[in-house]
Amino acid sequence: MSAKAPRYQGCNVLAVTPEGRRLWQFTVGKDKVTPAGDLVLEAGKSLPKPAVARDWRHLVQPKLNLAWLPSEHVFIRAVQLPAANPAELPGMVEFQLEKLSPLPPAQVVWTVEAIPHADGMQQTALVIIASRTAVEEYLGQLEQGGYVADQLEVPLVRELRTLRPAGDGLWVLVEASTTGQNVLVGWFLNGVWQEVGLLRLTTGEPGAAQLIELLTQNAWAGELAGWLKALPEIHLLAQPEAAAELEAPLREWSGRPVLTEPRRPLPELAELGALHHLPLAVTSLVPPDLAKRRRDQFVDGLWMKGLGTVGVAYLMFVFFYMITLKVQEYRFDNRRDEANAMAQSYTNALQLKAQVAVLQDRVGLRFAALDSWRAAVENLPETLTLSQLDFVRGRTLELTGTVANESTGDVTKYDSDLKKVEVNGQPLFAKVGAATVTAQPGAAISRWSFKADLKRTEGNAP
């Protein structure tokens, strides 16, 4: 892997078997993957959504979903090509695809992996081909189960890639399937994987006979091509039951001992597959147009979910806004009713205050009239005669009377005395006007008059 930080933050590897499904989970580090879970699910049980579901977090923390493609859908060939840049390898294979593929190129999907060659000027290209229809059907089944696979992996190929032969040998890797056995055969001669093929066999003696027949055909082809001089040592990698069925026929066919070894554990193959597929692949068994369509559907789904969430949030906001508005309107109506009631009470209070003020003024005028009458009478000199005493608008006291011509000076004194009259320590009159004396021609008496403004206080003010 590259020394750079990985593109993916995690990886899932799914294997589908007749007994159920098995899901391995890995966390991705700088240059390694670390197991984070191993789930075995019975047939019919759904995968855990938190582990495989895709949401907006997948955009910021992408996770690779890898699935094992059943080997019965796969065709494998080894091709010797000149050494070149890894990015140029798919183009070199594509020129020969029509010759390599068992189906028309338009009906297949394929990928290629480079294997080191003994000659540094060459390389071995391991071409993996599958029917497009079979791949799309398999991906559709996975999606129905809630798993969207980004890449497809062939465990037999991954195990072959881990082999490091010390010398020439014929490697036979056996995998059990629902219809029989899938056998990957690899001829390693002179430091090169000369021929690699995937065979489909039945179980038992008929399957062993089929294997021997196909190996014989490979041997003849190798002799004609010049890369096989004699049968090499045979390595059989299989489970104990399959090894017991095939060991004797292989030994009898080759005339040499057969070295049997157990296959790698499935979790180890899952980890190796995750390490291989985490870098961005140039080619993939997942059709590019299908991958793009699913990517667009995923992004569109996120947009629709986002818009739906925004719409629901908006509706909830409007709902709570309307509730809040109704509550505030209810409170406002209550406050308005209270204000109206208080305004009526305030108006009534003002009216009562005005009525009280009028009554107080009337009472004050009565007492002021009595005080004024008393002051006018008590201070009236004997030489003066009071003819009329009037209150004008309750404020002004008007006095009118007569006086002998020789006593007109007493009018001035009477005026001065009224200015000095006090009631309860306060002047009774605020202002006393100058007296007016009017002489009558040929008469011995004169008429006098003056005005006095009462001093009003808060207690007797209108």
Q: What is the CATH number of the domain that holds 391?
A: 3.30.1360
**Whether residues 281 and 372 fall in one domain:** no
For residue 374, the model assigns a pLDDT of 78
Do 393 and 244 fall within a single domain? no
Domain count, the chain: 2
* Last residue of one domain, picked from the residues 246, 261, 286: 286
Largest CA distance in the chain: 186
Please tell me the distance from the alpha carbon of residue 262 to that of residue 175, in angstroms, as a whole number.
11
List Cβ<8 Å contacts ≥24 apart for 401-407.
Answer: 401/447, 401/448, 401/449, 402/445, 402/446, 402/447, 402/448, 403/437, 403/445, 403/446, 403/448, 404/444, 404/445, 404/446, 405/439, 405/444, 405/445, 405/446, 407/381, 407/383
Domain limits for position 420 = 363-454
145 lies in some domain = yes
258 plus 376 within the same structural domain: no
pLDDT at 84: 87
pTM value > 0.85? no
66 by Cβ neighbours in 10 Å (0-12 / 13-18 / 19+) ranks as buried
Same-domain status, 265 and 388: no
Q: Do 381 and 277 reside in the same domain of the chain?
A: no
Domain for residue 97, yes or no?
yes
Q: Is residue 196 part of a domain?
A: yes
317 falls within a domain: no
Written as tens digits, the pLDDT of the chain (462 aa) is: 344 444 778 889 999 876 778 999 998 887 788 898 888 888 767 777 777 777 666 666 788 889 999 988 899 999 999 998 888 999 999 999 999 999 999 999 999 999 888 888 999 999 999 999 999 999 998 888 888 888 999 999 999 999 989 899 999 999 988 778 899 999 999 999 999 999 998 888 888 899 999 999 999 999 998 999 999 999 999 988 889 899 999 999 999 899 999 999 999 999 999 888 888 776 788 888 887 887 777 677 767 877 888 889 999 999 999 999 999 999 999 988 888 888 888 888 888 888 887 777 766 666 777 777 777 787 888 788 888 887 777 678 788 888 887 777 777 887 787 777 777 777 877 777 777 888 777 777 888 887 888 776 544 444
Same-domain check for residues 73 and 209: yes
Domain closes at, from 286, 306, 339: 286
> Same domain, yes or no, for 47 and 186?
yes
* Residue/partner pairs of 142-145 with CB below 8 Å, 24 or more apart: 142/14, 142/16, 142/67, 145/21, 145/46, 145/47
Distance of alpha carbon 128 from alpha carbon 112, whole angstroms: 6
Same domain, 125 and 235: yes
Q: Is residue 440 part of a domain?
A: yes
Cα dist from 387 to 117, 145, 185, 238, 402, whole Å: 152, 124, 154, 151, 7
Judge if 388 and 266 occupy the same domain.
Answer: no
Instruction: Answer whether residue 61 is part of any domain.
Output: yes
Instruction: Indicate whether 188 and 58 sit together in one domain.
Output: yes
**Per the domain annotation, does 335 fall within a domain?**
no
Question: Does some domain include residue 172?
Answer: yes
pLDDT value of residue 56: 65
Single residue among 234, 254, 286 that ends a domain in this structure: 286
278 with 387, same domain: the answer is no
Same domain (yes/no): 143, 270: yes
